[in-house]
Structure 1
Amino acid sequence: MVVYPPGTLFVGQRFQTKEQVQDSINRFHFVNYCTYKVKHSNTTRLLMECVHHDCAWRCRAILRTREQHWEIMILEGPHTCVYPLIHTIHEIIEADPSTPISTIIAHIKLTMGYTISYKKGWLAKQHAIENIFGNWEEFYNKLPGMLQAMQMYVPGFIWKFNTQPAYQGDLLDKGSVRFKRLFWTFKPCIDGFAFCKPIVQVDGTFLYGKYKGMLLVAVAQDGRNNIIPIAFAVVESETTDAWFFFLMNLGRYVTLQDGLCLISDLHEAIRSAYSRN
């Protein structure tokens, strides 16, 4: 019986035993970062398919009773599920996490020979980002500890952290809370503002990812017209409460003097928060 390299599968491939068939299937999926399930198995027939119902991969092997060997009779595919795609685009996403889905689809077409849907490309990108940079929920859980470490090792670092109740469906999870808002600034920002013009500009931009939100930023300008960021916040959206949280902490820790000029885009939430502040 011919011995093939690990991960090799093709129609007509022969094995002495059923166990050798299964071992070869296992090696194939290990090499290609895929997962399969056995749909049917008996003493003369073995049928396997991808665990993902929308994947095209399928394999059928039978026992040739006259020759007394097992042979792969049907091998459909390749795997069109997300997991082999993750391995294929790993280097692309690691180099540039903002790679467009259209680029991923084109890369899969070039390297694997078939065209995936936009949804599948998007899912592959999200899984690749998680594999490379970590899980979203895990990083949110690490955030308080990271901020405490910053406060310990970065002199003058200031942060204010708000949470909200966590729910599992409609039920309150008493043992957990969810991230709501975060304000932070650094001592060089605070010290530097004392030498800036008495003008502060605030604005916000959208955050993209699994969990949406807004990044709020305050900047000032020094005597040489250099732009200096002085405070930051991540909030749920541009609500009055969110802007009040940002402006209140900005005034409490950074812009301590009176007579400042505040420049903004006149968003209604900013105006309401400023009036409240």
Structure 2
Amino acid sequence: MTDECVIAKGMQFTSKKILQRAVRMYFVKDMREFKVDDSNRSVWRLICRRHTQGYRWLLRGIAKPDGLWEITKFHPKHTCDMEQSRADHCNLDINMIAHVLLKHIEETQGCLSKLVLAWSTQNMALSGYMATLQHANPSTVVQWRLLEGRIFYFVFWAFKSVIDGFAHCKNVISIDGTHVYGRYDIKLLIAVGMDANGSIFPLAFAIAANESNETWGMFLTHLQTHLELVVDDIR
């Protein structure tokens, strides 16, 4: 039912969740938007998102005694103007996107293996870049963490000149993280200090697969270790 994007009065679904998914798929494809007017254990009632402009479209699904959900009222003629929302459909949520993408991945042979291969290729490029940094800046610290020995997760680096120079900085460190936009959604973690002139003094960097307590913990641990910070506790 959901694959063909067909909705009609009298159709039955095994659960409310399946009904909702089918209706969302249908109206995203039809480029119409709806608003939930009533939703509980026995009723799911929708109206046109632009009902205040006089559009009286309606869909209602109810729970039957046997546990199925049935569309008992449906006006298929949905005439509101959708030009302004073609690029931003309000009913297209993350769960629906995930459902479509996961199904596509399952149907595409080798898709996952190609993704892993792409990550591995990217790892090789990043590894070569770090090796070049260490060659041009002897004693530069680089710390890696890979998943299953080949999938990138985290890399930390700090230049030797920065490590030596930190001894002449003020006892202030600021940390922050930012998105790295591109083919992969990764995060850049940064630590900076302040030199004797009050200028920003870059201390250390890390690229992480995500920004989490774990990756920040690794970053701060390496920062403490290699800059020889004396602190009571790092969380």
**TM-score when scaled to structure 1?**
0.39
**TM-score when scaled to structure 2?**
0.46
Which is bigger in relative contact order (C-alpha 8 A, separation at least 6)?
Answer: 2
